[in-house]
Amino acid sequence: MMNATQRLVLAVLISLEISLTKSVTLNLILVAGALSILLVRRQSLKRLCLYLAVAIIPVLGSFWSFYLYGSGTAAENLHFGMVMGSRVLVFIFIGAWLTLGMTPYVLLASLRQNLKMSATFTYGILGALNFLPRFRQAFTAIQAAGMMRGEVLRWWQPTLYFKSLVHAIKWSKNLAMAMTSHGFQEGANRSAYRTYPMPVSGWVVMAAMMAGIQVVLFLARY
């Protein structure tokens, strides 16, 4: 129905909408909606539990801080605490919906085609994602190099980050050379092996969603 770009646009619109409104009802409806899509699309239970585990501290944290330390009446504070707590939950589940069955490659490629995002940026990000596993190895080697010199480098010490940066700069230069050597030129025209069209149905769904949200906001009392 919606392609990756449209999904991102909708996710951003919903996030903006709930950031500017204070309806617990709307937030809970959105969470329930996202959750049911995740269940219907057979998201693994382990993943869902992970999302909940990630959510629990920020949700309770935002709720308690506004409930206990808010400046309004007890009822107002309870309401605002609920709004903030459920808002965090919406962010997490909208994020989960956005990434459901989507790879960074598809998202970035669609953004590049649909929104004319720069190819250099797109492939730079993809390259950086490929570096992540190597980064962990480099980190261990840097710490070992320190210990061989009688220095224990802790995670808060700048040396560790400086050295990591040296590695990152070297890798990025190598990657840039490899890309150039394979014919990539900044700003040059490229063909598209796959296309990521934005179907009309996607816009219709998006409009319906936003209209629905307005209706809920109009009707909901809490």
Structure tokens at 65: 């801080």
54 touches 79 (CB < 8 A):
no
Instruction: State which amino acid sits at residue 54.
Output: V
What is the C-alpha separation between 122 and 111, in angstroms, rounded? 9
Of 111, 175, 198, 217, the one binding other proteins (CB under 8 A) is 175
**Part of the chain binding other proteins (CB under 8 A), chosen from 6-14, 36-44, 73-81, 119-127:** 119-127
What is the C-alpha separation between 9 and 207, in angstroms, rounded? 11
Instruction: Establish if 159 lies at the interface with other proteins (CB under 8 A).
Output: yes
96 touches 43 (CB < 8 A):
yes
Structure tokens at 192: 């598209």
Instruction: Establish if 133 lies at the interface with other proteins (CB under 8 A).
Output: yes
Of 65, 134, 204, 222, the one binding other proteins (CB under 8 A) is 134
Of 184, 198, 216, 217, the one binding other proteins (CB under 8 A) is 184
Instruction: Establish if 127 lies at the interface with other proteins (CB under 8 A).
Output: yes
Sequence-distant (≥ 6) Cβ neighbours of residue 25 within 8 angstroms: 216, 220, 221, 222
Instruction: Establish if 158 lies at the interface with other proteins (CB under 8 A).
Output: no
Instruction: Establish if 152 lies at the interface with other proteins (CB under 8 A).
Output: yes
36 touches 97 (CB < 8 A):
no
Of 44, 71, 73, 191, the one binding other proteins (CB under 8 A) is 191
Instruction: Establish if 141 lies at the interface with other proteins (CB under 8 A).
Output: yes
Measured distance between the N- and C-terminal CA atoms of the chain, rounded to whole angstroms: 32
Task: Give the number of other CB atoms < 10 A from CB of residue 20.
Answer: 7
Of 12, 49, 60, 178, the one binding other proteins (CB under 8 A) is 178
Site size for other proteins (CB under 8 A): 46
Nearest by Cα to 216 from 6, 30, 7 = 30
Smallest separation, CB 115 to other proteins (Å): 18
Of 192, 200, 218, 221, the one binding other proteins (CB under 8 A) is 192
What is the C-alpha separation between 111 and 119, in angstroms, rounded? 10
Instruction: Establish if 101 lies at the interface with other proteins (CB under 8 A).
Output: no
Of 13, 111, 179, 220, the one binding other proteins (CB under 8 A) is 179
- Residues of this chain that bind other proteins (CB under 8 A): 105, 123, 126-127, 129-130, 133-134, 140-153, 159, 163, 166, 171, 173-185, 188-194
